[in-house]
């Protein structure tokens, strides 16, 4: 008999809700999912920030980039993703910083079985989390 899975997991991620887009039309979101059973099943995707317009991000030799850092840390049962969020530039100066959610996000049990998905739909277009700058 396999051991019971009690690990709580979470994943914060950047995504394009509509992947077939151009630099002008692409919108970048930040999502969050959790698993209460070691990854056997996952919650619905929750949008925690966005949309961000690509031209709000620094343009590199590899295209527009939000950054190379994203993480999620736990305090008790609450998850705190550290995410880069960009706002429209002002006076030619970029406005991008690292944020987390105020009060944390619940890493509760899961609602749907894990599977390989090439496309997904954001279930919650309205974020109820308040972001705080770090």
pLDDT, tens digit, 9 for 90 and up, residues 53-66: 999 999 999 999 99
Poorest-pLDDT segment among 4-8, 21-25, 30-34, 53-57: 4-8
Whose tokens are 């840390």? That residue is 73
Which of the pair, 119 or 101, is modelled with greater confidence? 101
- Give this prediction's pTM: 0.75
- What's the whole-number mean pLDDT along residues 98-124? 59
Calculate the alpha carbon distances from 19 to 4, 105, 126 in Å: 37, 26, 20
pLDDT band at 73; cut points 50, 70, 90: very high
């Amino acid at each position: 008999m396999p051991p019971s899975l009690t690990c709580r997991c979470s994943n914060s991620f950047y995504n394009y809700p509509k992947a077939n887009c151009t630099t002008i039309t692409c919108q970048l979101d930040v999502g969050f999912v959790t698993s209460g059973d070691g990854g056997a099943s996952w919650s619905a995707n929750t949008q925690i920030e966005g949309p961000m317009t690509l031209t709000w991000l620094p343009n590199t030799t590899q295209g527009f980039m939000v950054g190379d850092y994203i993480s999620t840390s736990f305090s008790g049962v609450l998850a705190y993703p550290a995410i880069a969020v960009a706002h429209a530039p002002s006076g030619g100066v970029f406005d991008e910083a690292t944020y987390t959610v105020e009060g944390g996000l619940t890493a509760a049990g899961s609602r749907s079985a894990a599977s390989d998905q090439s496309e997904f739909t954001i279930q919650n277009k309205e974020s109820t989390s308040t972001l705080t700058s770090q």
